[in-house]
Amino acid sequence: MKSTDVVTTALGNTMRSKARTILTVIAIFIGAFTLTLTSGLGVGINTYIDRLVQGFGDQQQLYVQKPSQQSNQPADAGPQEYDPEEAAGAREGNFGLQMLSTPEIDKIRDIDGVESVEPLVAVSPTYLADESGDQYIVSLGLPSDASSLEYAAGEAPQRDADEITIPTTWVESLGYDNAEDAVGGTVNIGMTNATGESQEFEATISGVTEIMLSNQGSQPTPSTSFTDRLYEYQNEGLPEQAVESQGYAMAVADVPNVDQQDSVKAALREEGMVGMTVEDQIGLLRGIINTVTWVLNGFALIALLAAAFGIVNTLLMSVQERTREIGLMKSLGMSPGKIFGLFSSEAVLIGLIGSLIGVGAGVVVGTLANGWLTGEGGPLATVAGLTLYGIAPLQLLGIILLIMFIAFIAGTLPAARAARKDPIEALRYE
């Protein structure tokens, strides 16, 4: 019997007991379907995280900050003694971070491998006014993020121009019909300085940003030069020492040679500062997503394990029912290897049918669910660029091959039993 004959015969034999075979295929289908959905979920969300990493900024950038004194203490250290002199020198900034002083910015700039440093200043506008004079509460995004946001219309503000972006959710409130109409419009940022005086600063809307899952793009984001103008006015009236004492909560250091980032991080640690890339900041989120995906995949593998026992049961019953047929095949010269191959092929075919249907259904359901949830009008439509389900062809092929391998292993016991049968005893079987 040729190999093709073995496969053809195996295919016919799987349909002898249709109900039993269909139930076994359904068990495999459930495992394959679940595994396809969970693995696709991991692919989709990791794809979105990759987009977030790109959106947070250049991979050559290090975000530099000084951790708070409290965060440097061990979790089980208990309360620390208060030192007035140390407390006076440790100026706390936003989010509990110690402020970076101008000399510390200079130290970052002098580190080997750092091409440039851009301090991130804290600007607190009084309000944002549209062209009709209506005023709105506003907080501004970081200029360093503007170039990597996703835009519904327009583009990032030019570094040296008085430009600003607005989020898509602000378009209608500011009196524009759509995002395209907003580009080129103007807004006024109201500022109050240290002496209590107020002034408005006009900026041109350069682009309209989509809002991402991380809330990036949800705030108006000014250009670097416009931010500097606002910051300078904000500090008017303060003594020079007071302006200096404000410092910077964070700085962005450009390290063109990515291979040098580790050495730059080490140099920053020696200066009591921490340097983190975008990948460092989002790495924890990626780890959590991967862990959840593997846990869900584990449940799918449990379903496949149950299906494997179904294959064993199906084929053992098939061997029992076809004992005389096996004896006849052996008496006609069919070798034990061919008998083993015949029943193993039946197991693999059951696995192949179940996996193909399960993977196909998983891809269809995952794609439709992703389109419904993230598409226009969906519950997650406001999250720009969100992908909940992704298709990785090699991964899907791996799922099919894994299930076929599990099916083959499950079929070895009944196949070996069939191959070992004595032809004379088998022909006598009633």
pLDDT tens digits, 217-242: 788 999 989 998 998 898 888 776 55
pLDDT on residue 60? 72
- Per-residue CA distances from 109 to 64, 120, 267, 269 (Å): 11, 14, 11, 14
Instruction: Residue 143: name the closest of 222, 229, 231, 63 by CA.
Output: 222
354 neighbors 307 (Cβ within 8 angstroms): yes
Bridge partners (DSSP) listed for residue 135: 129
d(CA 128, CA 72): 38
Contact 286, 60 (CB under 8 A): no
Of 114, 116, 48, 62, which Cα lies nearest the Cα of 278? 62
* Confidence (pLDDT) at 360: 94
Q: Which residues contact 96 (CB under 8 A, 6 or more apart)?
A: 68, 70, 71
Q: Spell out, as residue ranges, where the chain has pLDDT lower than 50.
A: 69-83, 86-97, 245
Q: What is the pLDDT of residue 70?
A: 44
H-only helix segments in 111-183: 179-182
Convert the pLDDT of each residue in 155-196 to its tens digit: 999 989 999 999 999 999 999 999 999 999 999 999 998 888
- Residue ranges per structural domain of the chain: 3-54+283-428, 60-119+259-276, 123-247
Cα–Cα distance between 247 and 210 in angstroms, integer?
A: 31
**Contact assessment for residue 280 and residue 287, using Cβ atoms and an 8 Å cutoff:** no
CB atoms within 10 A of CB 357: 16
What residues have CB less than 8 Å from 413, skipping those under 6 apart? Answer: 312, 315, 316
Per-residue pLDDT at 267: 87
Question: Regarding beta strands 127-129 and 186-192, do their DSSP bridges make them parallel or antiparallel, or are they unpaired?
Answer: antiparallel
H-state helical runs in 57-131: 84-89, 102-110
pLDDT of residue 47: 82
State how beta strands 127-129 and 135-136 pair: antiparallel
What the block records as the tokens of 360 is: 């196909």
